[in-house]
Every structure is written in structure tokens, then in C-alpha cells.
Chain A
Amino acid sequence: MIGEGTKSTNQRRHTYVRDRVEVGFFTDPTVCIGCKACEVACKEWNHVPDDGFVWSGNSYDNTGHLGASTWRHVMFVEQDRQKGGQIVGSHSVVGGDGEDPFRWIFLSDVCKHCEEAGCLEACPTGAIVRTEVGSVLVQNDVCNGCGYCVVSCPFGVIDRRPKPLADAGGAFKCTFCYDRQKSGLTPACAKVCPTESIVFGRLDDLRARATQRVHQLRQHGYADAQIYDPMETSVRGTHAFFLILGEPEAYGLPPKPQIPTIHLRGAWTAAFATAIGALIATLWAFALL
């Protein structure tokens, strides 16, 4: 926590990998200042290539979306709503002497490292694995770029890197800085976050802390503060969860994400029925005619 200095879980060395402790990210937009240091630190540490220099015109966000070469993405959400106990000005654009409530929310998006991960289940090569700390990791040297994880992620995180970028053709996403964690370091994004909007630590600690933070914010007038961590769906919770103001759709987050394997039973049943049906129809046609 801010004020803890080097004792903060974002800064101190740890042995989570050796101790097989489940870790997580808790990202809190109410203290994010939109500096994008997390994006930069991630790119620098992981040697992630650039993903184009496009001026989007979408607030201060020219990154757009998580992808093969964007593992942290700071969102700039503009809403015509009041933020907590914010005092709104008297200059109305709409007209009249009313006030135009407005809030500007920054939220650093990242791979959710699902408890039941769609990409991990879909990967036909075994390139995507679960690490000791519960994160989901793509082994770059194993991935052959089939692209099935891309359509299997309910959050649209993982993507195949296009040519001519370095390491093109493989699927990429946040590694939870597994290499750093193995050496007892904290993920690069959490390490640099100047306001500790991104908190890295033990998953159970973070969950308790998040609940407390929501309670605190509600007391301060943030009536629509809530935790985004889909526990009730087949995703069964995430290792990187968020505090959000308002509904998840505004952040491009699916309200009820499901792991695609829930459709397997129905689809395979239909496939087997069709296969048997085709065989019987063929045999019938040759037998009778």
C-alpha cells in the first residue's frame, strides 16, 4: 500500500514461485492517474515490439486494446456521470444553468489469468500452461501459431502477432512477468506503478483488500464501485481482477464471460449424431437402391 515504501508487496522480494502461492493483480482505477508507466515498463522488460503509432482520437488512449504486442493497456473512460462526491462545475454545454457531470476514469487492463482459462484449454500444442503461482503462461518456443486461443479467450486478450514484428506468428499475452517472479521480483507494471493502482501480491490478501476498498469508496459516495471478478460464471474467478465504477461494458469487459469449453458437450453430441446419421443414410441408400 502507498506509504509502505519498500515494504509494499509491489516492491519487496518474494518467494511465491518457490512456495507455490497463488498471486494476483488488483487494479484500482480510483487511484490511477493514467501515466501509462505500466504500459512502458511492460514493453521494456518483455521486449514487446511497437503495435503501430495511431492517433485514435479516443480520449488520451492511443493504445486501443490488449493484443499480441500490448500486454498492459490503460483505458481512458469518459462518462457523463458524477464521480463519487465530485463537485461539478456550473458551465453547462447542454444549456441552462444546470451542471454537466463528467468523470474521467483510468483503468489499466491486463490478461485476467482466469481460474478456468479458455486459451489454456483450447491450445492444441500444450504451449499454454498454468504456472506455480496460478498464472497462465504461453511458452513461445512451443506455440505454432494455430490461432485457436485467439477465439477461445472470453476477454479478447491473447492474439497472434502479425509479420513483420519480432517473433511474428506466435500467440502472445501478459506473462505475469513469470521470469521476474522466478527471481523473486515483482511484475514490471506493478513495480513502476507510482500510485499503486496496480497491486501485486497474494491472491487472498488482494481479495480482502479489494473488498475493503469497495466498502471505503462507497462510504465516500462512490455508489457504483464494484469488484469485477467473474466468480459466478464458468471462468470461476480471475487472478487479475479490477475495481470498476459503473457497469463492466463501459470498460469493454464482458458482463458474464464464459469459458468456451462449456459448449463442447452439446457440439460433440451434435457431431456424433451427424456422423452416425450420415453413415446410416449412406448405408441405407446403397442397401435399398
Chain B
Amino acid sequence: MALYPNRMNEPRIDQLREEAWAKGVVTGRGVDVAGGPIPRKPGYYGQPVVRPPVWTWEIPIYFFVGGLGGMSAVIALGALLFHHFDITRTAMWIAAIASVLSPILLILDLGRPHLFINMLRVFKPQSAMSMGAWILVAFGTCVVPGLVALELQTFHLFAGTVDQILGVAAGISIFASAIFGMLLATYTGVLIGATAIPAWFLHHTLLPIHFGTAGLGSAAALLELLGYRTAPLNAIGLFAATVEAVLLIWLSVDKHGVADRAIHEHGSGWLIRIGEVFTGPVPLVLRIFGAIPLAATSFLLGALVSRFGWIAVGKISGRDPESVFTSQKL
């Protein structure tokens, strides 16, 4: 059976011959009309020039979780420095959960998950994927012990000097977590910006700004939904929504025609638009009117949809030969 898979196609070929004899043309998936214009499709029979990403749902979810977790650590640092210790604790919990979930999602997406450890085989500044792997490891290494120290210190499980050392250790870990966290939230934009996919590399400056801001706004929104309805978090939410609204305008002005049409057309275009509107104008207006839970929900939803949108854009743009040709003539 496996030796002669062609045999299964023989009846189909006979059927096509009969159809061609009777009608003069053959209809079917991937079959061009005989006698059509030459060339029949752009490029080489419309074949993709670059390869679309092979990444599946794990990657957009990781972009969302990693961005949210990374920026949570930044909020944890801000809250710690200005004595909002309850926010620090919750934010560090979010960061820690994200630092565990993120590698799981990434490993799930690997073609060979059992070889995941090879990510730490080399340190390669010119590879955004390598830098991301190291940033994620460093983030996890700071966040998890930081959270443990913080929890031990909060309940004063140890007395005297040990408690003081735990406090200092927690502080240092939270500071380091914030540094690696803000890189974790933004590097993903570099990751897809520095590729051969036209709709991605044409926006390599916008992407890190968008992913970082979406991460910051999501972290603030999740904390608000968890009950911390404070002025600083609302201010962070307002800031993120404002930046996202500006990015929405940027994206609609900075158009490259055919080269980045995947952002403005197709289903992927709709995902991007929905993502941008729900992270930008909608939460901005809702926050101005004080509807904070709604604004927070809208932002989280928008940030998630937008990540799926950018991966969808990559798939459509990568399959589009005209986009590649046009992007190289700009």
C-alpha cells in the first residue's frame, strides 16, 4: 500500500482526462484553466517566495502571557518602591505564573520538544530567538526565588537577621525581575520584526512598542480585575491605552500598499483592527468615564486578539509572493 501510493491517484487521473475531453477544461483544487493567460499567477505559479511561520496557537498565547507577566514585574517594582506591598505580592504572583507557563507554551510549539534544552546551548546576540530564550530563563530565575523570598518575608516566618536578609533578597530579585520582565515583554516584537516576512519587517519599529505597551496595559488591567482599583494602576492603564490609540493611527498612516496588505485586508486585517481598537480608543474612553472593569476587560481581550492577529498577518503575508516583491521595491 505504502509502496505504491500513486495507484490511489489513477482513478482520479482518469476522471480528469474524461472531464478535459468532455468540457475542454478541468476544474479542481490547484488546477489552472487550460489556455489561460501566461503567467497565470504572480511570481512562479503564485508559489510563496518566503515561507510563512509554522507557529501555532501556543506562540500568540505566549506573546500575551509573556508580555503580561514581564510587565507585571515592572508594576511589582513600582508598587514596592512606593509602598503598595499588596500590589507587589499579587503582581509577583502573576509574573511567577507567567514565567512557568511561558516555557511550557514555547516547548509545546517546538517540533522536537525533548530537545528544548538546546536553546541554552549557545548565546547568540544576533538571534532574537536565542536572546528571548535567555531573557525568559533569567526572568524565571529572578521571579520565582523573588516571590518565595517575598512570601516568607511577608509572613515573617523567620525572625531577626534572616527576615531582613529575605527582605533585601526579595527587593533585589524584584528589581532584576523588572529589568528582565520589560525585555521579555518587548523582545517578541524584535523576534517577529527581524524576519523575512514583509508585513512584519516593514513594522519592526512598531512591533516592540506595541507588544511592550500591550503587556504593560494587560498587567495593569489584570491587577485591576483582581480588585486593586487604585489610581496608579488606572494611570498606567490610561497611558497604555493612549499609546495603543497612537499606534492605531500610526498603523493606518504608515501603509506600504501591497507589501503589507495582510495588515489591512483579509481576516488577519480584521484581527489587527479589533485588537487595536480594543486596546486603544475603547479602554481610553471607558477609563475617562470611570468604567474601569470594562476598560480592563477590553484591553486584555484586545491584547490577546492582537497577538493572534500578528501571527495571522505573518502567515498571510508570507504566503503572498506579490507582498515580497513589492516590499523589495519600496
Q: List A residues at the B interface (Cβ < 8 Å).
A: 50, 53-59, 61, 64-65, 67, 75, 77-80, 93, 102, 118, 121-127, 142-148, 150-161, 168-171, 249-258, 260-261, 263-264, 266-279, 281-289
A266 to B193, CA, bound (A): 9
A267 to B35, CA, bound (A): 47
B139 at the interface (CB under 8 A from A): no
Q: Assess the B182–A278 pair: CB atoms within 8 A.
A: yes
Q: Which 4 A-B pairs have the closest CB atoms?
A: A145-B111, A169-B111, A252-B44, A274-B212
B286 at the interface (CB under 8 A from A): no
A148: shortest Cβ distance to chain B, in Å?
4
Q: Assess the B194–A264 pair: CB atoms within 8 A.
A: yes
Q: Assess the B201–A260 pair: CB atoms within 8 A.
A: yes
Which of the segments B117-125, B166-174, B252-260, B270-278 contacts the partner chain? B117-125
Q: Assess the B39–A270 pair: CB atoms within 8 A.
A: no
Q: Assess the B43–A250 pair: CB atoms within 8 A.
A: yes
**What B residues does A146 contact at CB under 8 A?**
109-111, 119, 129
B196 at the interface (CB under 8 A from A): yes
27 A-B pairs (CB sep. < 8 Å): A64-B47, A79-B39, A121-B124, A125-B119, A144-B116, A146-B129, A148-B127, A156-B49, A158-B51, A249-B42, A249-B325, A252-B47, A254-B50, A260-B194, A263-B195, A264-B194, A267-B194, A270-B186, A270-B190, A270-B204, A270-B209, A274-B189, A275-B186, A278-B215, A282-B77, A285-B235, A289-B230
With both beta carbons as reference points, the residue of chain A lying nearest to B195 in the complex is identified as A151
A93 to B38, CA, bound (A): 13
A162: shortest Cβ distance to chain B, in Å?
8
B5 at the interface (CB under 8 A from A): yes
Q: Assess the B54–A150 pair: CB atoms within 8 A.
A: yes
Assuming the contacts A143-B112, A261-B126, asked whether A159 and B54 have C-beta atoms less than 8 A apart, the reply is: yes
Q: Assess the B129–A267 pair: CB atoms within 8 A.
A: no
Within the complex, which residue of B79, B119, B205 is in contact with A270, where a contact is CB–CB below 8 Å?
A: B205
Besides the contacts A152-B194, A255-B329, what 13 more A-B pairs have beta carbons closer than 8 Å? A55-B9, A59-B45, A122-B129, A125-B115, A151-B196, A154-B196, A156-B318, A250-B43, A252-B321, A258-B196, A260-B201, A266-B205, A285-B239
Within the complex, which residue of A144, A152, A260, A273 is in contact with B115, where a contact is CB–CB below 8 Å?
A: A144
Q: Assess the A275–B112 pair: CB atoms within 8 A.
A: no
**What B residues does A53 contact at CB under 8 A?**
5-6, 9
Q: Assess the A255–B78 pair: CB atoms within 8 A.
A: no
Q: Assess the B38–A286 pair: CB atoms within 8 A.
A: no
**What B residues does A274 contact at CB under 8 A?**
182, 186, 189, 208-209, 212-213
Assuming the contacts A55-B13, A261-B194, A270-B189, asked whether A283 and B43 have C-beta atoms less than 8 A apart, the reply is: no
**What B residues does A168 contact at CB under 8 A?**
111
Assuming the contacts A121-B126, A266-B204, A287-B82, asked whether A156 and B328 have C-beta atoms less than 8 A apart, the reply is: no
B207 at the interface (CB under 8 A from A): yes
Residue of A150, A151, A160, A289 ringed by the most chain B CB atoms within 10 A: A151
A86 to B250, CA, bound (A): 52
Q: Assess the B44–A250 pair: CB atoms within 8 A.
A: yes
Q: Assess the B49–A256 pair: CB atoms within 8 A.
A: no
Assuming the contacts A151-B51, A281-B239, asked whether A56 and B208 have C-beta atoms less than 8 A apart, the reply is: no
Assuming the contacts A144-B118, A250-B43, asked whether A289 and B196 have C-beta atoms less than 8 A apart, the reply is: no
Q: Assess the B111–A286 pair: CB atoms within 8 A.
A: no
**What A residues does B118 contact at CB under 8 A?**
125-127, 142-144
